[in-house]
């Protein structure tokens, strides 16, 4: 389960000084023979989250800042055509395997599986057409929650096994967005790794960067990566490196630092 809490946040806005609220008509389209829709969930405090079943993508999160002014804190698209032609991972629920698989292959139960190379020599985010590009089945449970379903077929993107997934989006009255997901391997052993892939901007201005955002990461080690962005397997200490965010630090303070691979 992943919980995102908004505490004095602002937007990803689509226009200077404000935001555009996408409507259902803006997301109504048939893709791969399935109906795309936009779902709205909200709480009693006025928080609103808009999610499309195309890639189970979060397109908007409206929350109040410390003065009570509402703004959009997540990058998204105002209509389905822009989402189809835009950044594929933005806001998506990513599977069957999020991030990179080195060399685009893995071995399971003694059998090697060759995947699509869609990121240099690696396979990224489930292959050429991971679930971020697929239309989920969806059901609005109540005003505050919606659930979405996708079944990965045995052999889809050359992964083994049928894998049934359920993703629940829910807003709470303390202005939190909860993303709860489950997966069931139906007929074979398989591999799976999921993530929700939203891009946040808390500045209140879509056109601004996030380099002055202050972050804290409660971790004293990190995973170094090689030139192909694959983890080396080492657990390196963050001390005396640009990866040390154990004290609140602006995002951009060390973003240009060279700390090797």
pLDDT tens digits, residue range 143-186?
999 999 999 999 999 999 999 999 999 999 999 999 999 999 99
* pLDDT for the residue 203: 77
Residue 35: per-residue pLDDT? 98
Token pair belonging to 251: 């995002």
Write down the pLDDT at residue 202: 85
3-state secondary structure of 54: strand
Q: What is the per-residue pLDDT for 259?
A: 72
pLDDT of the residue at 260 = 58
pLDDT of 20: 87
**Alpha carbons 203 and 71: distance in angstroms, whole number:** 10
φ/ψ of residue 42, rounded to 5 = -155, 160
Domains and CATH numbers, the chain: 2-196 (2.70.98.10), 211-261 (no CATH)
Nearest to 196 by CA among 165, 226, 227: 165
Positions of the chain with pLDDT lower than 70, given as ranges: 1-17, 204, 206, 260-261
What are the pLDDT digits (tens) for 90-102? 999 999 999 999 9
Q: For the chain, what is the mean pLDDT?
A: 91
pLDDT at 141: 98
Provide the pLDDT for residue 208. 83
DSSP characters over the chain: -EEEE-SS-----SBTTB-----GGGG-EEETTEEE-EEEEE-TTS-EEEEETBTTEEEEEEEE-TTS-EEE-B---SSHHHHHHS-TTTTPEE-SB-SEEGGGEEEETTEEEE----BTTBEETTSTT-GGGSBPEEEEEETTEEEEEEEEPTTGGG--S-EEEEEEEEE-TTSEEEEEEEEEE-SS----B-EE---B--SS-TTS-STT-EE----SEE--B-TTS-B-S--EE-TTSTT--SS-EEGGGSTT-----
């Amino acid at each position: 389960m992943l919980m995102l809490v908004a505490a004095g946040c602002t937007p990803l806005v689509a226009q200077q000084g404000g935001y555009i609220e996408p409507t259902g008509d803006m997301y109504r389209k048939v893709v791969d023979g399935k109906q795309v829709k936009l779902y709205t969930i909200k709480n009693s405090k006025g928080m609103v989250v808009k999610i499309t079943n195309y890639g189970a993508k979060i397109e908007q999160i409206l929350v109040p800042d410390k003065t009570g002014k509402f703004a959009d804190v997540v990058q998204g698209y105002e209509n389905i055509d822009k989402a189809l032609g835009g950044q594929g991972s933005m806001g998506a629920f990513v599977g069957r395997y999020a991030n990179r698989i080195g060399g685009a292959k893995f071995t399971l139960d003694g059998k090697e599986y060759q995947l699509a190379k869609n990121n240099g020599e690696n396979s990224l985010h489930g292959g050429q057409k991971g679930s971020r590009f697929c239309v989920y089945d969806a059901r609005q449970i109540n005003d505050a929650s919606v659930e979405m379903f996708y079944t990965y077929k045995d052999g889809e993107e050359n992964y083994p096994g049928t894998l049934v997934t359920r993703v629940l989006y829910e807003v709470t009255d303390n202005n939190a967005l909860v993303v709860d997901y489950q997966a069931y391997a139906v007929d074979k052993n398989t591999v799976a790794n999921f993530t929700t892939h939203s891009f946040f901007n808390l500045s209140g201005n879509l056109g601004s960067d996030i380099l002055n955002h202050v972050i804290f990461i409660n971790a004293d080690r990190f995973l170094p990566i090689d030139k192909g962005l694959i983890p080396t397997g080492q657990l390196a200490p963050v001390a005396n490196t640009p990866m040390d965010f154990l004290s609140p630090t602006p995002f951009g303070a060390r973003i240009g630092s060279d700390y090797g691979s």
